[in-house]
């Protein structure tokens, strides 16, 4: 089940020389309930690329979204992405979803629904 989602984040850096992962501003991590080291799916709205990696905490308040290591070949600086965390469970989950603007400023919490998906 989807548990966490950061929608429309913009990649601020792509660093091939870093050892794997995605660096995310600690504020965003806490807002959606992601965990350091958690496996996440990254989807590029810009190129359509999809990949899986793990979370590294970035500096709080930095608005940093950095694709590290080999992932930087698939998703580069300036691309708009979605970051999704999942949880294995038999229970229903109400996901925590945030929307960011083009400068990675928090806009609002979103509720996943069919109607919302038609608007975005």
Of the listed 21, 44, 72, 96, which one is catalytic? 21
Q: How far apart are the first and last CA of the chain?
A: 21
Of the listed 4, 47, 54, 72, which one is catalytic? 54
- Is 54 labeled as catalytic in the residue annotation? yes
Going 20 to 73 to 66 to 31, the CA torsion angle's sign is negative
- Is 72 labeled as catalytic in the residue annotation? no
In degrees, rounded to 5, the angle at the alpha carbon of residue 52 between the alpha carbons of residues 36 and 70 is 95
Q: Annotated catalytic sites, by residue?
A: 21, 54
């Amino acid at each position: 089940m989807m548990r966490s989602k950061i929608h429309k984040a913009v990649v601020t850096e792509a660093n091939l020389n870093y050892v794997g992962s995605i660096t995310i501003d600690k504020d965003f991590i806490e807002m959606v309930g992601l965990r350091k080291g958690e496996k996440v799916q990254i989807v590029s709205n810009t190129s359509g690329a999809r990949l899986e990696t793990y979370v590294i905490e970035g500096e709080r308040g930095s608005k940093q979204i950095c694709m590290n290591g080999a992932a930087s070949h698939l998703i580069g600086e300036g691309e708009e992405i979605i970051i999704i965390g999942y949880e294995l469970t038999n229970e229903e989950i109400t996901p925590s979803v945030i929307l960011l603007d083009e400068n990675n400023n928090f806009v609002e919490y979103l509720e996943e629904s069919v109607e919302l998906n038609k608007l975005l």
